[in-house]
Amino acid sequence: MLVGCVVGHDALLGPETEPREVAEILDRHPFLPPPVVDLCRWVAEYYVAGIGDAIGVAMPPGSRRASSIRTQRVVAATAHGLAALEADSATRQAPPDHPGPTPRQRAVLEMLAGAPAGLSTSALRERGVSADVVRRLAARGLAATREEATERDPFAQAALADLTHDPARELTGEQVAAVATLTALADAQQFRVALLHGVTGSGKTEIYLRLAQHVVGQRRQVLLLVPEIALTPSAAALFRSAFGARVAIQHSALSDGERHDQWQRIHRGDVDVVVGTRSAVFAPLATPGLIIVDEEHDTSYKQDETPRYHGRDVAVVRGRSAGALVVLGSATPSLETYANAVAGRYTHIALERRVLDRPLASVRLVNMREEYADEGPDVVISRPLAAAIEERLARREQVLVLLNRRGYATAVFCRQCGDTFECPNCSVSLTVHRRRGGWTARCHYCNYSMAVPKTCRKCAAPYLEHAGFGTERIEQQLVERFPGARIRRVDRDAVRRKGALTSVLSRFAAGDIDVLVGTQMIAKGHDFPRVTLVGVISADVGLGLADFRAAERTFQLLTQVAGRAGRGERTGEAIVQTLYPEHYSIQVACRQDYPAFYERELVYRRSMRYPPAVALISALVRGRTFDQAMHTAAALVRRLEPAAGRVPFTLLGPAPAPLARLRGEHRVQFFLKGTRRVAMREAVRDALAEMPEARKRVTVDVDPLNVL
């Protein structure tokens, strides 16, 4: 049995397909609103995906399972029961046609009489009423039970209680000007896109709130997208304080039931504001007037499975179809967005000063080559960073330490024979994790793991060593060096349990944690006024990747994490450890000079013909063997060559992917570069149509953010 979604009148059946009878029609009315279905059609067409895949993203999880709707049993007194109670009260003896209740039953009937809508069995149980008493009342016709759907409220765990919106807060001059410009755009009730380009701490969130209040006052709805689940609690708390219960949240950390109930609230029109991550762009809002994409540059907005849509770009398309204002906010916009602003396609609004004129954090570079020369090759935390942490702890201030790499060590190798522990399924070394029972080596791609032995598997020598370092090792070294400090770690391994991330961030915000170590989860969007120091370990870890966006990601990460310091009354400092202090992305990040980075990076992108200078489509072919993958990729490229000559566009490859083997499959990739994106997509779709047997082994990524 399969559940399908009817999106049109023309059946997409092949000549050999025999249709089957429909077992059941599940909805009296369209489940997905027509505008959402149209948006899914656009996603399927633009990202060269199936309409079924796109529709699946827009559907709430578990929407077709009875278990997704939670019910409770409600008990209410019947007219017969109320009459018996009244007669019993008047005469202390019921007439023959109203059998008198027992003293216990009378007490329960009095409870039910005071609650005309009835009481749930759980509420009765809390008052000492057993299921047996309820059953006897129902058997005598004195009470009746019914099943009612109940909504799960995720806000109890999703919001930080101490975050509230102050509508009387005085805005800066730049904020006043920004709100005026944006409200004028919103009042036009026509499709517009604006880039709100504000330095970290300039008050973009306050502008979102004021603008949202203006739009809701016009009886239109607001959609706020944030890139990470970690940012949802604070955003939900602020909007909940401003709009009350008419706020819904949508993200994957909620249970299926919670997401289902929130989706139904949106669908019924019970909310004015939706706060969520990438997939919330498909929320069934009837009258969206404002769509905000916060931290629009963040790569988390790009889905890494089919359909490989970008939440920001889909938000722009949804705004276009709804005649809504779309606001893209960031301190470090993507090159594509900034190029649109420079070209005049987007309204550009700049915020160049922090709230209360607080200075940006000063940034100090530490050349780790000099540290290695003086202290040896095993240095992880430099002398300047250690001294600065000690100083902040003495002043009872807080510290963030960033390393965008999980685990304890990046590899295990034998000093005698050189053997390295590699994943049997992927072309990567296993990452070492410290566990209570010893050491575990795990692949972060396929999750293969093994216990690290005490001797080498090949030569049996007892000389196994750990190479590299991750957040676990940073945490351990900080605990050893600062034994009195309260230190916690935030990465995917440390916050797997539901609610763990919210709990840690809440404790840090309350001042119960002194040093927070983490990956990029801690680098963006958070506002911790007590943080006066940010330390960045291995700032250049991403520069060695074979990815044309490596410099952009490094600049964005460093600028964002430096912006977490000095957001309160005390000035902040960022200490950046790097092997390449002269690299331009690191130099301009220290100055937090986005225009300088944009100009420098654009020269490189234009000369190498990379986005935003041209459009890019990536095609990744998987196979059981390398020869099979290469053969399929080469056949596709041959079918694309005639179109490449006509359009024209450039074909690069096929060639082995940088990650040549993943989850047991060999990978080969090729690229299309050109300025006519529509023609390029059509060419890819036509080539795949000629090789239907290969379609399941080919992943097409339009506008890829990751080419590894």
Residue 637 contacts residue 655 (beta carbons within 8 Å): no
Q: Between the CA of residue 110 and those of 133, 226, 412, 504, what are the distances in Å?
A: 14, 50, 71, 46
- As a 3-state breakdown, the chain gives helix, strand, coil percent values, each rounded to 5, of 40, 20, 40
> β-strands 71-77, 143-149: how paired?
antiparallel
Structure tokens at 273: 């504001």
pLDDT, mean of residues 519-533: 82
* Residue 235 banded pLDDT, cuts 50, 70, 90: confident
Structure tokens at 426: 């992927």
Q: What is the pLDDT of residues 18-39, one digit of tens each?
A: 878 888 888 777 889 999 999 9
Q: What pLDDT score does 562 carry?
A: 85
DSSP 210: H
Q: Can you tell me whether residue 291 is helix, strand or coil?
A: strand
More confident of the two residues 478 and 3? 478
pLDDT, mean of residues 233-251: 87
Contacts 24+ apart (CB under 8 A), 450-457: 450/421, 452/412, 452/421, 456/414, 456/416, 456/417, 456/419, 457/419
Class of 615-702 in CATH = alpha beta
Superfamily (CATH H level) for 155-357: P-loop containing nucleotide triphosphate hydrolases (3.40.50.300)
Domains 155-357 and 362-408+469-605 share a fold: yes
CB atoms within 10 A of CB 278: 26
| Model confidence, pTM | 0.85
Q: What is the pLDDT of residues 601-653, one digit of tens each?
A: 999 999 999 999 999 999 999 999 999 999 999 999 999 999 999 989 999 99
More confident of the two residues 456 and 64? 456
Give domain limits for the chain: 71-149, 155-357, 362-408+469-605, 615-702
Task: State the chain's mean pLDDT as an integer.
Answer: 88
Q: What pLDDT score does 64 carry?
A: 55
Q: What pLDDT score does 494 carry?
A: 79
Query: In this model, does residue 68 exceed pLDDT 60?
Result: no
Residue 519 contacts residue 556 (beta carbons within 8 Å): no
Listed range (60-74, 216-230, 373-387, 411-425) with the worst mean pLDDT: 60-74
d(CA 62, CA 300): 24
pLDDT, mean of residues 165-184: 91
Q: What pLDDT score does 707 carry?
A: 85
Superfamily (CATH H level) for 362-408+469-605: P-loop containing nucleotide triphosphate hydrolases (3.40.50.300)
d(CA 345, CA 465): 55
